[in-house]
């Protein structure tokens, strides 16, 4: 990762955020969005951010949630080597409390995803990005997301899965995509080429709500965070880079098209709320 991009990653990860306490991160993102040409954005009453770049009849939409599961404390982000999913030592970022020097959760779940979406936004000419609040306690932001924003979304790609090789097939029983479809067959080999070979049935994240509400296909990918929801959480830099490259390649392949996936799947999300 080039030096300026790595600094942006460190800056973003160093901002503490918690469910319903995302404002510091929201303010930082607004400052960054104001630096990107051709971007329009707005914030809803909950704090969710809706971002559009360029013009198209149909957009890919990238998604990552703004809250983390860690209490907000001032933190210092340090570089150190940590194992990836293949047990290889890789350069990683880990957080320590500023006051005590003790490890604290860096909030890669899902600030690594937020960074991934922001970097893709910088590089693509046309896309949408949705940053919901309060995912960790029940996808509250995406449950109340503005439907007008999603009328022109053709498909959604979230970055909120663990490590470097996982992808969600289902979220709480909600099927995100059809394996035997033009949508998925078009990108299946790209996904495998980037090392995402663990296609799993996962707990919830925001694409569960978006799929249920708006009936476009969704994907949810790993974005390089490990030991999530613990004080020893860390983010591997190479894995974040890989997620960014994957997102861009998928859009190149799928384009600005409208895909639809209306399917009556088993849905267990009612058990959460």
Q: Give every CB contact of residue 130 below 8 A, 6+ residues apart in sequence.
A: 48, 49, 50, 51, 61, 62, 63, 142, 145, 149, 156, 206, 210
Total domains in the fold of the chain = 1
Mean pLDDT of 99-113: 97
For residue 3, how many C-alpha atoms fall within 13 Å in the half-sphere facing its CB?
0
Identify whether the C-beta of residue 63 lies closer than 8 Å to the C-beta of residue 130.
yes
Give the pLDDT band (50/70/90) at residue 89: very high
50-56: average pLDDT: 97
pLDDT at 170: 96
Q: What is the mean pLDDT of residues 253-262?
A: 91
Task: Provide the whole-model pTM.
Answer: 0.95
Q: Say what the pLDDT of residue 265 is.
A: 54
How far apart, in whole angstroms, are the C-alpha atoms of residue 36 and residue 40?
Answer: 9
Nearest to 43 by CA among 25, 60, 57: 25
Element containing residue 127 per DSSP (H, E): strand 127-131
pLDDT for the residue 261: 86
Assess whether pLDDT exceeds 90 at residue 266: no
Per mean pLDDT, which range of 38-42, 72-76, 251-255, 262-266 is the poorest?
262-266
pLDDT (0 to 100) of residue 269: 53
For residue 267, pLDDT over 60 is answered with: no
pLDDT digits (tens, 9 = 90+) for 202-220: 999 999 999 999 999 999 9
For residues 89-112, average pLDDT: 97
Give phi and psi for 87, each to the nearest 5: 65, 30
Structural domain span for residue 27: 3-271
Place of tokens 């300026």: 4
Summary mean pLDDT of the chain: 95
At 268 the pLDDT is 54
Can you tell me the mean pLDDT for 114-134?
Answer: 98
CATH number at residue 200: 3.40.630.10
Distance in angstroms (rounded) separating the CA atoms of residues 9 and 70? 18
């Amino acid at each position: 990762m080039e030096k300026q991009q790595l600094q942006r990653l460190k800056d973003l990860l160093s901002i503490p955020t918690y469910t319903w306490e995302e404002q510091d991160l929201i303010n930082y993102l607004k400052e960054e969005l104001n630096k990107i040409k051709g971007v329009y954005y707005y914030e809803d009453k909950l704090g969710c951010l809706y971002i559009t770049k360029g013009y198209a009849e149909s957009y890919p939409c990238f998604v990552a949630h703004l809250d983390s599961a860690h209490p907000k404390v001032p933190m210092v982000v340090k570089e150190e080597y940590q194992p990836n999913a293949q047990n290889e030592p890789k350069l990683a970022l880990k957080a320590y409390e500023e006051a005590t020097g003790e490890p604290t959760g860096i909030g890669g779940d899902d600030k690594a995803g937020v960074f991934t979406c922001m970097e893709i936004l910088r590089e693509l000419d046309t896309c949408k990005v949705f940053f919901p609040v309060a995912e960790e306690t029940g996808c509250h932001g995406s449950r109340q997301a503005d439907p007008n924003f999603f009328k022109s979304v053709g498909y959604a790609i979230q970055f909120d899965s663990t490590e470097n090789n996982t992808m969600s097939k289902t979220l709480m029983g909600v099927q995100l995509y059809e394996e035997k479809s033009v949508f998925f067959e078009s990108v299946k080999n790209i996904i495998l080429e980037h090392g995402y070979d663990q296609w799993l049935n996962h707990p919830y994240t925001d694409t569960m709500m978006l799929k249920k509400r708006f009936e476009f296909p969704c994907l949810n990918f790993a974005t390089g965070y490990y030991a999530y929801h613990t004080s020893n959480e860390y983010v591997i830099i190479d894995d974040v880079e890989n997620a960014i490259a994957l997102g861009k390649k998928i859009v190149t392949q799928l384009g600005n098209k409208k895909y639809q996936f209306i399917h009556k799947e088993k849905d267990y999300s009612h058990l959460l709320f």
